[in-house]
Structure 1
Amino acid sequence: MAVYTQVSAEALARFLAGYDHGELISAKGIAEGVENSNYLVDTTTGRFILTLYEKRVDLADLPFFFAMTDALADAGNPVPRALPDRAGQVIQTLEGRPACLIEFLSGVSVSHPTAEQAHAAGAALGALHRSLAGFAPTRANSMGVAVWPKLFADCSDQLDSIQPGLRARVGSALDAIVATWPTDLPIGAIHADLFPDNVLMLGDRVTGLIDFYFACTDIIAYDVAITHSAWSFDAKGVALDPAIGQALLAGYRTQASLSDAEVAALPLLAKGACIRFLLTRAWDWINTPADALVTRKDPLAYLRRLDWYDANPTAFA
């Protein structure tokens, strides 16, 4: 979440007038994240999230995202729904951007998860995959393995400005990962971005899974690897207690299974996750406007993760 597009109080009041959710009391921009503009909105009837979709999100993808969150919510997962206005429309226009009003879920994201919290997050991911087993809509992964070489090419000339030697290190790893990327593992609808800041918790209980704007159809075990790479390290990419990653996988297995082939592929899939997030973070680091209310995320945190997975090939055994 972030704020790229400023919304005036007057424009937001007019926007809310199309809903049955009360009158505007206050709105505050949310700086976390890097994708869309988000506001925490309080009205006379409750609290909501307002999201304005920026250039990286394709308007044509929004129906897929909302169908997925509706299916998950219908199955009992703690997922917020996008709310329709009085005319039944979910997608609006505000300040020249596609916009939606979304349910607010209580809870906080954790920055230093315990094993118990990681177990709960893993179980929530497993329940998500299980709930989507019959989900029919599909969407290609816009940040999948096929995109990484072009993303690398777009960033490569400036990677060494982030850290000397980064271009050669990432290029070598990328070539090796792309050459051996699996093509025969089960695929399905995945979240593809289940970082701790996209999981809301109260104590050891998951109360919300949010930010589905990278959701897509891809290797299901890749979602597990992404989540492992997000939860098993601190914000700087330093490995936490191995019990955190082990608890995440154990929690996942309480709700969904992994075949021997999927488990064997997890080290490679985790390295792929490192390349994906390193490259997108590097692109954002290089290209984020200076006046954007947004917290840039360190691409080197995923280089450190990549180094760790290289040094610990039995992490998923």
Structure 2
Amino acid sequence: MAVYTHVSAEALATFLLQYDVGELVSAKGIAEGVENSNYLVDTAKGRFILTLYEKRVAADDLPFFMALLDHLDAKGLPVPPAIKDRDGREIKELEGRPACLIKFLPGVSLSHPTPAQALAAGDAMGAMHRAVADFPLTRVNSMGVESWRPLFERCGRSLDDIAPGLYDDLAFALDHVEARWFAGELDQSAIHADLFPDNVLMLGDKVTGLIDFYFACTDIRVYDLAVMHTAWSFDAQGRGFDAQVGDALIAGYERHFPLSSVERAQFTTLASGSCIRFALSRAWDWLNTPPDALVVRKDPLAYVRRLQHYDPSLVTRVA
């Protein structure tokens, strides 16, 4: 979550008149995250999240995201569906951006998850994957393996402005992972593709919300677990690996989907691919985030260090 597009109180109050949610009481921009503009909105009838979708989220993809959230909500999963306006519409426009008013979920996101919390989160991902078995829509992963090289080339030698040698390390790692990526032998389904700790809300050891589905797509099912493993099992700098947290994530997930021998054999490649994907997207954002955006940039080197953990041979220049 972040704020790129600023919404005045007057514009927001007028926008809310289209819903049966009561009058605006207060609104506050949310700085965490990097993708969309988000506001915490309090009205006379409750609390909501207002999301304005920025350029990385294509308006044509929003029906997929909304349908997936509605599907999971109907299955009893703790997800935040969009609120319909008085005409039954979920996707609106505000300040020139596609916008949705979204159900607010209780709970807090974690900075340092425990193994017990990781077990619950892995279980929640497995339950989500089971719930989408009959979800009929598909969406190509816009940040999938085919996108990494074009993004790497767009970043170009500017990567070395982030850290000397970063361009060469990522070039070598990308060659290695692309050569070993074989999606055809692994099960695919709708996946979240971005289930970081800040996209899971918890109260104690209980998951109360799975949020921010704006990278959701159809891809390798266990790749979703690999993304989660790379995000949850390390400290913020990508230096400290917590094997207990990583093992708990997998154990929770295996309550629903025990990993096959092929999935286990490919897990390191899938996790390495996740590290490349997030190192590159963070690098692009690091190099291109507007200076006046209310957003916290995320360190791409934290994912280069994770990559080094999964396969030390891939990173030789950047520590």
Q: Which residue of 2 aligns with 1:265?
A: 266
Q: Which residue of 1 aligns with 2:200?
A: 199
- Distance in 1, Cα, partners of 2:33 & 2:148: 21
Say whether the 8 Å CA contact 1:193–1:226 is kept in structure 2.
Answer: yes
Q: Which residue of 1 aligns with 2:124?
A: 124
Matched, 1:52 2:58: no
Q: Which residue of 2 aligns with 1:22?
A: 22
TM norm structure 2: 0.97
Deviations 1:203-249 (A, max 9, x none): 00000000000000000011010000000001111233211100110
Q: Which residue of 1 aligns with 2:254?
A: 253
Q: Which residue of 2 aligns with 1:114?
A: 114
Alignment of 1:95-106 (within 5 A): 95-106=95-106
The Cα shift of 1:257 comes to 2.6
TM norm structure 1: 0.97
Q: Which residue of 2 aligns with 1:218?
A: 219
Q: Which residue of 1 aligns with 2:172?
A: 172
The Cα shift of 1:311 comes to 3.9
The Cα shift of 1:312 comes to 10
Q: Which residue of 2 aligns with 1:156?
A: 156
Q: Which residue of 2 aligns with 1:77?
A: 77
Q: Which residue of 2 aligns with 1:296?
A: 297
Q: Which residue of 2 aligns with 1:141?
A: 141
Say whether the 8 Å CA contact 1:238–1:305 is kept in structure 2.
Answer: yes
- Distance in 1, Cα, partners of 2:302 & 2:88: 43
How many residues matched?
Answer: 313
The Cα shift of 1:256 comes to 2.3
Alignment of 1:222-237 (within 5 A): 222-237=223-238
Alignment of 1:58-69 (within 5 A): 58-69=58-69
Say whether the 8 Å CA contact 1:239–1:308 is kept in structure 2.
Answer: no
Unaligned stretches of 5+ residues in structure 2: 315-319
- Distance in 1, Cα, partners of 2:252 & 2:201: 16
Q: Which residue of 2 aligns with 1:86?
A: 86
CA RMSD of aligned residues (A): 1.1
| SS at 2:139 equivalent | coil
Q: Which amino acid aligns with 1:226?
A: V
The Cα shift of 1:254 comes to 1.2
